[in-house]
Every structure is written in structure tokens, then in C-alpha cells.
Amino acid sequence: MSDTLRAPEPFAPQTSPEAIEDLRARLRATRWPDVPEDVGWSLGTDLDYLRELVGYWADGFDWSAQEAALSRLPRFRASVGGLGIHFVHARAVTPEGPVLPLVLSHGWPDSFWRYSKVIPLLVDPGAHGGDPADAFDVVVPDMPGFGYSDRPTGPPLSSIAVAGLWAELMSVLGYERFGAAGGDMGSHVSRYLALDHADRVAAVHRTDGGLPVFAGDPATLHPEERAWFAEVATWGANEGAYGAMHRTKPQTVAAALNDSPAGLAAWIVEKLQAWSHGGIERSYTKDEILTNITIYWLTGTIGSSMRMYHANAAISAEQLARRVEVPSGFSIFRGDVVRPPRAWLERTANTVRVTEPDRGGHFAPFEEPELYAQELREFFRPYRGTGSA
């Protein structure tokens, strides 16, 4: 074990009453903006919805109960690459046959929260209507600058750097061979795990193909690829302002969001509404939404999480053009955004399986945990082998 790697230590945070009282006081003192009549979500976060959510956050939401529920997961912190990394490490329950370790990578705006519902289904499928032989050892880290992991004090880390940290973390845990899965920025991290650590990654599963980058002759693209490029451009023009801010001037908006919990909620719930299949009220309870947002508030990580966009924007075109040769599977959920065609997935990866589940969106592991768990079980089944810890 290298000098940068230390044995994991159990982690169970307990928020002070003072921190909760400060949060509630800020929520009650919110200075609300005006809004035109009957705009709903068309100009951003629906103000009526936000007022109701903030009122419940201030006077009804029980963070202590949610914090205790999250701490029932086996959570740890370890020093990896000089950073304190928080992660869930849940081992397979009564496995029948070889267990494949699986590292799951989240995106923005969330944390390990994205996978909190699906972890029990993956480690103990027999207890949830599945085949016990499909059990995984599951590792779910918070990326640096997200959740309970350290915030980098120097330049923000890109998906390439985070993939390197995850490879080290899996070594810390004794896993030399493992599967990787993720969505959003977690898809990017999983891709670079497969690219830079192909000798260790048995297979990689992603819920998207990333935003398209292509430097070749457009005439060589399949018609459905060209149509998708146009769709992505339209989506970027209509929905991409948040990303442009994150990539270019994240510290400007961080000053506001780190100070105002109502503003933080507005920034996050607008994405939960837009990117979830059927919208926010169909996909989540208020307790679930506020658990995600409260993690951001208490850890002060909204600014550091956005800075990862800035780091990823500096990744070279050569890196972005690399093709993944590790066996790759994709579950393109019906309610997700910028859904790539199969031709693009086959162009960019050794694509052996593509499915299009009819329920679930950008946060499918949380929206549809049973369906997502089944997608992973079926995809990784041929790639099980030794992965001792």
C-alpha cells in the first residue's frame, strides 16, 4: 500500500443542533423574488413549489431521521491521493458463486445519495426478488468536492483524475478486478476507468453516452448521429445555461448558493424537475429531495461540485476521442436528456448491450432502483470472476 493510501475508517456524521437551527433561520428569512403569473416551471424553478418545499424544510423536515437512515449504510472515509474520500462499501450478502466488485459513480447535482436506494438490491438480490448469484460488492464514493469527501484546495479535478482515484480506492479495498458503472459525470469517470485501467475493469455500464465530441468528417456520421448532434445543440441552447456557468464562472453563483438555502434548493430542484421522468413530484418525496439538498448545504459543497465542470472543460479533444475497448453496456432510460443513438455508442465504445428502459430518467438509480438494479445484474452477469477483498 502506498504512502497516499490508508486503511478506511468507519464514518457516521452527526449534525449539530446549531447547524440545523442556522439552516431553519435562513429558510424562514428568505427574501422571495417576484414572478409573473402562471409561468410554472417555464422560466426556471416554480416559485409556488419552492415556497412549499422551503416551508417544509424549515418546519417539517426531520434531517436527523434522514441522517440516521443514511448511516445504516456501511460508510467509511479513507485517504486516497492525499484527499479524504467518503464512500459506501457494502459487501454481498450470502453470495452464490463469484462476486464482482462494482464501483458506482454519481453525477451532479447529487452524491452517494443517487445510489442509496439501489445498494441493498445489488448486495442482496435474493432478498429483493432476484437471483442470489447476481450479488455484488458495492463501492459508492463521493467525488472530491461532493458530499462528505474533501474539497480539493488546488485546481479542481477532472473525470480523468477522479478515475485514477477510484482505481486507487479499489486497490485500498483489495479489489484488483472490478466493474464500473455511472451516469452524468459518473459516466465520464467510468469511461476513463475503462480507458486508463482496462486491465482491471471487467466491464463498464453507463446510462448515457456523454455530450458528443467529433472531429472527423460529418459525412461519415450515420444520419441518426447527425440528428442527435442537432438535438443536443438545441438542448444546450434551451437548457444549458447552468452548465455554461459551471464551466466558466462557478465562483460567482457559488457565493449566492452557499449563502441561501432557498437559492440552493431552487438551483437543484429545477434540474430534478427537468431531468426526471415525469417530473419532480412523480419521482421523489419531499424528504428525498431535501435529503439530497441538505447534504449539499451542510457540507458546503455546491461551489466545489460545480468546479468539476470547469476541470472537465479542459480535457483535450484527444482524450475525448478515445474509444473504450472494455466491454460496454448502456441503459438509455426513456426520461433522460440527450439520449444517444446506438450508432454513436458503437462508434465510441465496444458496445455489447444497449437497452432502453421505459421508466426512469437522469437519476434512474434513485427514480427506478429495482429497474436499474436489474439492468446491472443482467449486463454484468457474463463478467463475474475473482475479485477478492
Residues annotated as catalytic are: 184, 309, 362
Report the b/e string of 55-72 with b at 16+ CB within 10 A.
eebbeebebeebbeebee
Burial of 6 (0-12, 13-18, 19+ CB in 10 A): middle
> Is 122 within 8 Å of 115 (Cβ atoms)?
no
> Any alpha helices (H) in 197-334, and if so which ranges?
223-239, 241-248, 250-257, 261-275, 280-283, 286-299, 302-313, 317-320
The CA–CA distances, whole Å, from 106 to 180, 360, 370 equal: 11, 16, 17
C-alpha dihedral sign at 55, 59, 61, 64: positive
* Residue type present at position 279: G
Question: What is the Cα–Cα distance from 75 to 299, expressed in whole angstroms?
Answer: 16
Please give the DSSP secondary-structure letter assigned to residue 139.
Answer: E
Q: How long is the chain?
A: 389
Q: What are phi and psi of 76, to 5 degrees?
A: -145, 165
Question: What is the Cα–Cα distance from 142 to 116, expressed in whole angstroms?
Answer: 12
